[in-house]
Amino acid sequence: MQRARDVSEDELLEAFLPIIKSHNTKADRLVLGPGDDCAVLELRDGLTVITTDTQTEDQDFRRTWANGMVTSGYDVGWKAATQNLADIAAMGAAPQTLLISLTLTPDTPVTWVEDFARGVTEACTAQGAEKCSISGGDLGAGSEISVTVTAVGTCLAPVLRSGAQTGDALVLAGAVGTAAAGLALLENSSSYQLTPGLSACIEAQQRPCSPLASGAAAAHQLTAMLDVSDGLLRDAGRIARASCVNIDIDAAALSPWVARVQETADLCRAPSQSADDLALHWVLTGGEDHGLLATCPADAVPAGFTQIGRVTQPGGSVTVDGKTYRAKGWDHFEATAR
């Protein structure tokens, strides 16, 4: 098996660039793709939105998990694309291109890099962003695998976090809690039999799917929106603070998402812990599903969104059934955040 240390940078590029270039044939905004110092895109018909995000080995993923499962290059590529595409969708924008900086360890198999490219391109296609090109990036060596993706999109008017108004409905498109349940399974070294329900949670952690089309389609109906990457409570708090409003989440409205992780909670709960409490905890605080959380007029909930709460009054805080929920969600620099 050839590894990164066995080939030159040009040879490594030649291994996966055909995958990228094949995908780019569907892009209608790409004037010049990989090969020059910069890519060239035609983006003059709207406002340009830009975001960037990083995945680092042993911080955001493990090559081999405690339960023995392996994270493939395909998984990392899929997740890297999704987390950036979701940020574009959360602005009510359409994704136009991705730029990717990939750092590899010398022992990384060349096939891992090819799988990474397939994960990126197939994530775009499967989630309705088949016209989003991969227009360039950078390739380097390091002591751990790391991937940084910059995404570019366009829109006529972005949906911000700061537009929520008293009386609005709090609405959600996509999933919450399943990726957190999947992480608990991956980190669980005890012996268990995978069922379809458990596998779905692991899939949500390794290859999350975001309702990308819902963001742009409903943009004109929404007053605020963001991507749920760090947990429902933490991200609702970002809308609350940016909009200077209080938000109350209806726990009963979350029951469909709680039900999806109930089987995993039964397996992973501590002896003194209720499976119901753990399932609700994942739904309220678990990140990485990349659902879209938004606010809108209470009498005009857009298609694809479900009401899960409401904007109650001016302020800047979030409650669940009128009460403060202690745990908030994921924070990269706060070990006790989950």
**Any binding-site annotation on 168?**
no
pLDDT the model gives residue 336: 40
- How distant, in Å, are the alpha carbons of 61, 232, 247, 317, 319 from that of 323? 33, 15, 11, 11, 5
Percentage of the chain beyond pLDDT 90 is 91
**Any binding-site annotation on 288?**
yes
**Any binding-site annotation on 243?**
no
Cα–Cα dist 337/234, whole Å: 10
**Any binding-site annotation on 266?**
no
284-333 pLDDT, tens digit each: 999 999 999 999 999 999 999 999 999 999 999 999 999 999 776 655 54
Q: Where in the chain are the domains?
A: 4-155, 161-320
Cα radius of gyration rounded to whole Å, the chain? 20
pLDDT the model gives residue 338: 39
The CATH superfamily assigned to 4-155 is PurM-like, N-terminal domain (3.30.1330.10)
pLDDT the model gives residue 326: 78
pLDDT the model gives residue 27: 94
**Any binding-site annotation on 229?**
yes
**Any binding-site annotation on 60?**
yes
Asked if 164 contacts 245 with a C-beta cutoff of 8 angstroms, the reply is: yes
**Any binding-site annotation on 277?**
no
**Any binding-site annotation on 107?**
no
**Any binding-site annotation on 178?**
no
**Any binding-site annotation on 161?**
yes
The CATH superfamily assigned to 161-320 is PurM-like C-terminal domain (3.90.650.10)
The residue with tokens 């004109």 is 220
The residue with tokens 């009510």 is 92
Q: Which two tokens stand for residue 284?
A: 């309220």
149-180 pLDDT, tens digit each: 999 999 999 999 999 999 999 999 999 999 99
**Any binding-site annotation on 45?**
no
Asked if 117 contacts 20 with a C-beta cutoff of 8 angstroms, the reply is: yes
Paired with 61 in beta bridges are: 57
Residue 273: partners with Cβ closer than 8 Å, 6 or more residues away: none
Positions in the chain short of pLDDT 70: 328-338
**Any binding-site annotation on 51?**
yes
Q: Is the dihedral of CA 169, 151, 71, 230 positive or negative?
A: negative
pLDDT the model gives residue 1: 84
